[in-house]
Chains A and B, each alone.
Chain A
Amino acid sequence: MTLSFQAAVAGRGFDVALEVRPGETVAVMGPNGAGKSTLLSSIAGLLRPDSGRAELNGRTLFDLDGAPHTWSPPHNRGTALLAQEPLLFPHLDVLDNVAFGPRSAGASKRAAKAQALRLLADVEADHLAARRPAELSGGQAQRVAVARALAADPALLLLDEPLAALDIHSAPLLRRLFKRVLAGRQAIIVTHDVLDALMLADRVVILQDGRIAEEGPTRTVLERPRSSFAAGLAGLNFVPGTLDGTGVRTDGGLRIAGHDDEPGQLPTPRGSGVAVFPPSAVSVFLTDAHGSPRNSFAVTITDLEPHGDQVRVRAGSLAADITPAASADLGLVPGMTVHFVVKAAAVSVYGT
């Protein structure tokens, strides 16, 4: 009872292999254009990949490697898709929208409506049954869309940024609803929000440029990111390079000293590795403040922005968080050259 999926779309540079175990919710994250929607569309049958094969619970969704090709149309796949917009059928009332799946599966009108009412009650929207979609708020409509997707009794639920279009008041309510609905359910959720991945998913898959950059349990990926995107999600500085003792040497020749995060785990020297450290561990000096075991490197400030009660000093891909008072004392402005200083003890080094 699993989804096993492998597909390539040449035109989009997409080549991904993915498994979802029974009852597992996988979060898919990645920058825009990384192939997240291509992944969902290929699984749902709305997009035909150039090659690959996929199976869901022992049934073939598509097999474009064998001859002859097999291709199961979307309505036979049991993969309900819930998009960013609720896309409730505007000409049907809420009850008929939710009853659409059961009706399409051949249920009688009465049975379909009874099931629709049950699911509407599940998402606390049964009082909306007689309304038209145009009469619902964004949060209400998305709740109804959840009920409609569940009513189709999908073997795999595909969620494409289901919380992205909601205002800040409706999103938490929906997130709690998804937490309940997704428990023990086989699902893939595409999201931009770390909170969704942490709360809703067992595992996270990072897509970058049409390929899986890294995957693993959500906590592990956020604590020890192996891709720049995951590091960005976790709010960590991420310096890739070559392992050099307990440090990392970048292509530019800069060496960042750190500590071996899991002693004895570092692979052979000269392998590729990363140095990862939080912006809060970085101090900013106007002059070079050398002295082991510190790292100090000259950078040019690109941006200053508020970050909580701190000021985030950005210099290219690196960031430091300092107090507004410190920022004012140093007279920081974009374009200025300063020194980022970070203790080796605050830098995690590990192989990738």
Chain B
Amino acid sequence: MAQQRRPAARPRTHAAAYSGIPAWVRVLAVVAAVVVVLPLLAMVLRVDWANFIPLVASGPSVTALGLSLRTSAASTVLCIVLGVPLALVLARDTFRLQGLLRSLVLLPLVLPPVVGGIALLYTFGRQGLLGRTLDVLGLQIAFSTTAVVLAQTFVALPFLVMSLEGALRTSGSRYEAVAATLGARPGTVFRRVTLPLVLPGLASGAVLSFARSLGEFGATLTFAGSLQGVTRTLPLEIYLQRETDPDAAVALSLVLVAVAVAVVALAYRRPAGRAGSGQRTTAAAPAEANAQ
């Protein structure tokens, strides 16, 4: 095995291997890249750099950014607390209607957020399914910061469940089986084997959930409204500013782009240390041969 890894460790040269990609595919690939990158570039070119700091640092903007970060952090925590068990049950259990449950859970991915907002309103709103009971208990969720967090959790949960379920399926349950035969109870197996093994998948899922929460607009507006300092997150602020102060809207948009870039970089960076351990494996093999 160690022998097979050696070629991968060799530095890449320009004498690349045959790829078999037709020329027209490359052309379309470039067009695709342009579709994504050009609008971002256009926006960056429109930024009023001279007034960038004052525009971004204005009172309402800072309030909106702070609210966005706090609610997104809260919804990410909620996604982890609820999404990890859900992903585990979907990946490892077998039960009736499992496929249906998976489809329903992933529905918010493809649902227009405004529809999600309406659904939430009829669940937690004053006249909603649970809202009436909650109202009696003195709890009003709609149009509060809690509603923002709920709306963000609703749209972001599938991201965490999906990437974690994938990681769980990839890692398989063989390590868990070994751990159990070594005497570990299910709780111990979960804490000491399952979670550490899927930690990269969990991390990237959490980062994606955070990013989705940060960009949430439709469901928030519908379910939580746009009260400054309470429910007006950064995307809502940008939408409002666009009417009155386009320069401020562009500057704030750039802030969100920067956060998004950081998030993507964090989620998709190459796992550290893997190449290094491969090298050491090659070094260890001759030592073993000598020992024998």
CB distance from A101 to the nearest CB of B (A): 4
| Proximity string of chain A (70-103) to chain B, C-beta cutoff 8 Å, 1 when within and 0 when not | 0001110111110100010111100000001100
Can you list 26 A-B contacts with CB-CB less than 8 angstroms, sorted by A residue number? A45-B180, A73-B186, A74-B177, A74-B180, A74-B181, A75-B180, A75-B189, A77-B181, A80-B181, A80-B183, A81-B177, A81-B178, A89-B175, A89-B192, A91-B197, A92-B196, A104-B182, A104-B184, A134-B281, A137-B285, A137-B288, A148-B182, A151-B182, A152-B183, A154-B181, A169-B289
Q: How many A-B residue pairs have CB under 8 A?
A: 94
A residues near B, CB below 8 A? 44-46, 73-75, 77-81, 83, 87, 89-92, 100-101, 104-105, 131-132, 134-140, 148-149, 151-152, 154, 158, 169-170, 173
Known A75-B184, A79-B181, A152-B182; 19 more pairs at CB < 8 Å? A44-B181, A74-B177, A75-B181, A75-B185, A81-B178, A87-B175, A89-B197, A100-B179, A101-B182, A101-B183, A134-B277, A134-B281, A136-B281, A136-B284, A137-B284, A137-B288, A148-B182, A151-B182, A170-B288
Cross-chain contact A90 with B182 (CB below 8 angstroms): no
CB contacts (< 8 Å) of B281 on chain A: these are 134-137
CB distance from B198 to the nearest CB of A (A): 10
B residues near A, CB below 8 A? 1-2, 174-175, 177-186, 188-189, 192-193, 196-197, 199, 277-278, 280-281, 284-285, 288-289, 292
CB contacts (< 8 Å) of A81 on chain B: these are 177-178, 181
CB distance from A102 to the nearest CB of B (A): 9
CB distance from A172 to the nearest CB of B (A): 8
Instruction: Select which of A100, A132, A140 is within 8 A of B288 by beta carbon.
Output: A140
Cross-chain contact B184 with A139 (CB below 8 angstroms): no
A134 and chain B: residue at smallest CB distance:
B277
Cross-chain contact A75 with B183 (CB below 8 angstroms): yes
B185 and chain A: residue at smallest CB distance:
A75
CB distance from A243 to the nearest CB of B (A): 46
CB contacts (< 8 Å) of A92 on chain B: these are 196
Cross-chain contact B192 with A100 (CB below 8 angstroms): yes
CB contacts (< 8 Å) of B181 on chain A: these are 44-46, 74-75, 77, 79-81, 152, 154, 158
Q: Which 4 A-B pairs have the closest CB atoms?
A: A74-B180, A104-B184, A137-B288, A134-B277
CB distance from B246 to the nearest CB of A (A): 50
CB distance from B180 to the nearest CB of A (A): 4
CB contacts (< 8 Å) of B285 on chain A: these are 137
CB contacts (< 8 Å) of A135 on chain B: these are 277, 280-281, 284
CB contacts (< 8 Å) of A170 on chain B: these are 288, 292
A106 and chain B: residue at smallest CB distance:
B183
Q: How distant is the Cα of A78 from the Cα of B184 in the complex, in angstroms? A: 11
Instruction: Select which of B180, B192, B199 is within 8 A of A73 by beta carbon.
Output: B180
Most chain A CB neighbours (cut-off 10 Å) among B1, B183, B184, B288:
B183
User: Mostly helix, strand, loop or mixed at chain B's interface?
Assistant: helix
Q: How distant is the Cα of A134 from the Cα of B284 in the complex, in angstroms? A: 10
Cross-chain contact A100 with B2 (CB below 8 angstroms): no
CB contacts (< 8 Å) of B288 on chain A: these are 137, 139-140, 170
Q: How distant is the Cα of A131 from the Cα of B284 in the complex, in angstroms? A: 10
Q: How distant is the Cα of A23 from the Cα of B197 in the complex, in angstroms? A: 36
Cross-chain contact A105 with B183 (CB below 8 angstroms): yes
CB contacts (< 8 Å) of B185 on chain A: these are 75, 104
Q: How distant is the Cα of A339 from the Cα of B186 in the complex, in angstroms? A: 63
A41 and chain B: residue at smallest CB distance:
B177
CB distance from A249 to the nearest CB of B (A): 49
Cross-chain contact A104 with B174 (CB below 8 angstroms): no
Most chain B CB neighbours (cut-off 10 Å) among A89, A149, A154:
A89
Q: How distant is the Cα of A92 from the Cα of B193 in the complex, in angstroms? A: 9
CB distance from B41 to the nearest CB of A (A): 41
Q: How distant is the Cα of A214 from the Cα of B183 in the complex, in angstroms? A: 33
CB distance from B217 to the nearest CB of A (A): 38
CB contacts (< 8 Å) of B175 on chain A: these are 87, 89
CB distance from A226 to the nearest CB of B (A): 33
CB contacts (< 8 Å) of A100 on chain B: these are 179, 182, 184, 192
CB contacts (< 8 Å) of B174 on chain A: these are 83, 87
CB contacts (< 8 Å) of B183 on chain A: these are 75, 78, 80, 101, 104-105, 152
Q: How distant is the Cα of A134 from the Cα of B2 in the complex, in angstroms? A: 10
B2 and chain A: residue at smallest CB distance:
A137
CB distance from B202 to the nearest CB of A (A): 13
CB contacts (< 8 Å) of A148 on chain B: these are 182
CB distance from A2 to the nearest CB of B (A): 20
B277 and chain A: residue at smallest CB distance:
A134
Cross-chain contact A173 with B292 (CB below 8 angstroms): yes
**A90-B292 contact, Cβ under 8 Å, with A74-B177, A149-B182:** no
